[in-house]
Amino acid sequence: MNDFAPDSITFSTGHYIGGEVVATGERLPVARPSDLVDYADLPVATADTVDRAVTDAAQALARSGWATQPPRERARAMRRWAELIEERALELGRLEALGSTRPIAQAVTGDVASVAEGIRFFSEWADKLGGDVAATRADHLGMIVSEPYGVVGAITPWNFPLSMASWKVGPALAAGNAIVLKPSELTPFSTVRLAELAVEAGIPAGIFNVVQGNGAVTGDALSRHPDIAKLSFTGSTRTGVAVMKAAAESGIKPVTLELGGKSPQLVFADADLEKAATCIAGSLLANAGQACVAGSRLIVQRAVMAELVERLRKKLAAVIPGPTWKAATGYAPIVSEIQAQRIDRILAESARQGAQCLLGGSRIEGHGGAFYQPTLLANVTAETAAVREEVFGPVLTIQGFNEEEEGLALADHPEYGLAAGIYTADLGRGLRAMRALKAGTVWINRYSRTLDFILPTGGYKSSGIGKDLGRQAVEQNLRHKTVLIDIGG
């Protein structure tokens, strides 16, 4: 992987509606996270532009036969799209790196490669969906027929722009829907390139549309559009509440919500401590903690606390911050100055509450963008700001326990239940803890996703409703019609 010059990258800065770049709306400046320089601006789609995209998508569905053609044709078009994404991995990866927190080396071989494979995974569902024949009286035939919704909407966050878009578009299209997607206004441009490649691969124009803009105007208009039959949102819990409310106020539509997390890393004394430290440090360093599943609360049995913390210190000491367009960069910038100030605020409040900083605790100076040191906070309680709130930065709080029940009680967060890590050599204990933890994903003796897209992801409690990935994501893009036929006799 080579460095690239940020000013050498060209891309479309409009909305993408009906296969065309459209540029209506007031424009908002967009900054590169690496140096916070404004490098482009994007138009803000008002309710009129959102309406145009939704209407175009409905017409494209009717015109193209996307939902009614033999499903294997749909699968074939999506497979071609996945191949094209792989062929253009460097170009797409550079655009992703330019405008987001993803360093180029990770963007090309990690994010883009996984997007292509994810689209391929979803394409394979196209001709494997169907309904059921139900048990009824012999003179009746009862069927449950599954159908696509029509035009669905999606709203995505800034932390993994291409991946988050593919998790929404893949299942929606495989199920036979058209989609109108609004990316984050902080990282808007790579999603349009993804949509352009879909059309180039033979997916009919208008089946995958992108509307640009901020949440208050464009996101709200999309959530409220009466012809959006189903909505899928990924972002913070606070915004998820607004989206759910808007969806309910505009004709009732189902919403899938992938929201925030405050996930525990529960380490028992019998665990392989080196492996646990590698997994926990890896989770903290990935995208500098700006990941929904970041394992941000270490809960460790007191007998091994000192040793584990020492191992973590060593692993967290040598990060390589830098601009995302340098191949050597291994550590992501914080997405914006506002987000960095939020981390400052949570750390300052935690310090006032008595938290003791064992590592880091401040920004890494000398870069144009905001970079944050990996941070370890001890002497915290359930009330400490960094334990209570989702930081969305490289901050790990440390709490100790003696007995299993005490550890499980600390692991249970009052608000969030997205993911959890358990480290133990005792499988029985690991499985007991797995059952006890209220989390949508539990990892035992590891802490990260694989390319096993069949495993769904989603939260318990205020971390969300419904699932991305897996069979479940495809099923959520279908609705069911009950048919009862009198066959006499």
- Minimum CB–partner distance for residue 335 and ligand NAD (Å): 8
Should residue 244 be labelled a site residue for ligand NAD when binding is judged by CB under 6 A? no
Among 220, 350, 399, 465, binds ligand NAD (CB under 6 A): 220
Considering the candidates 185, 196, 279, 292, report the single residue annotated as catalytic. Answer: 292
Closer Cβ to ligand NAD, 43 or 464, answer by number: 464
111 is a contact residue toward ligand NAD (CB under 6 A) = no
What is the footprint of ligand NAD within residues 67-96 (CB under 6 A)?
A: none
Burial code of 398-422, b = ≥16 C-beta within 10 A, e = fewer? bbbbeebeebbebbbbeebbbbbbb
Amino acid at 208: F
Positions in 274-303 near ligand NAD (CB under 6 A): 292
| Position 185 contacts ligand NAD (CB under 6 A) | yes
The Cβ of residue 67 has, within 10 Å, a number of other Cβ atoms equal to 19
Pairing of strands 230-234, 20-22: unpaired
Residue 66 or 122: which CB sits closer to ligand NAD? 122
Instruction: Provide, rounded to whole angstroms, the least separation between the CB of residue 213 and ligand NAD.
Output: 8
CA-closest candidate to residue 288, choices 101, 95, 35: 101
Do the beta carbons of residue 297 and residue 388 sit within 8 Å?
no
Asked if 418 interacts with ligand NAD (CB under 6 A), we say yes
235 part of the interface to ligand NAD, by CB under 6 A: yes
Give the range of 60-68, 127-135, 137-145, 216-224 binding ligand NAD by CB under 6 A.
Answer: 216-224
Whole-angstrom Cα Rg for the chain: 23
Q: Are 246 and 224 in contact (CB under 8 A)?
A: yes
Window of 25-33, 94-102, 231-239, 340-348 that interacts with ligand NAD by CB under 6 A: 231-239
- CA atoms of 335 and 431, how far apart (whole Å): 37
Near ligand NAD by CB under 6 A: residue from 215, 361, 393, 421: 215
**Is 292 labeled as catalytic in the residue annotation?**
yes
Residue 234 CB, shortest distance to ligand NAD, in Å, is 5
42 binds ligand NAD (CB under 6 A): no
Residue of the chain from 214, 250, 448, 472 that contacts ligand NAD (CB under 6 A): 214
For the four alpha carbons of 294, 297, 298 and 300, in that order, the dihedral sign comes to negative
Query: Following CA atoms 294, 295, 297, 298 in sequence, which dihedral angle do they give, to the nearest 10 degrees?
Result: -150
Site membership for ligand NAD, residue 239 (CB under 6 A): yes
Positions 345 through 404 that interact with ligand NAD (CB under 6 A): 390, 392
Binding test (CB under 6 A) with ligand NAD, winner from 33, 148, 417, 464: 464
Q: Is 417 a residue that touches ligand NAD (CB under 6 A)?
A: no
What residue ranges bind ligand NAD (CB under 6 A)?
155-159, 182, 184-185, 214-216, 219-220, 223, 234-236, 239, 242-243, 258-261, 292, 390, 392, 418, 457, 459, 464, 468
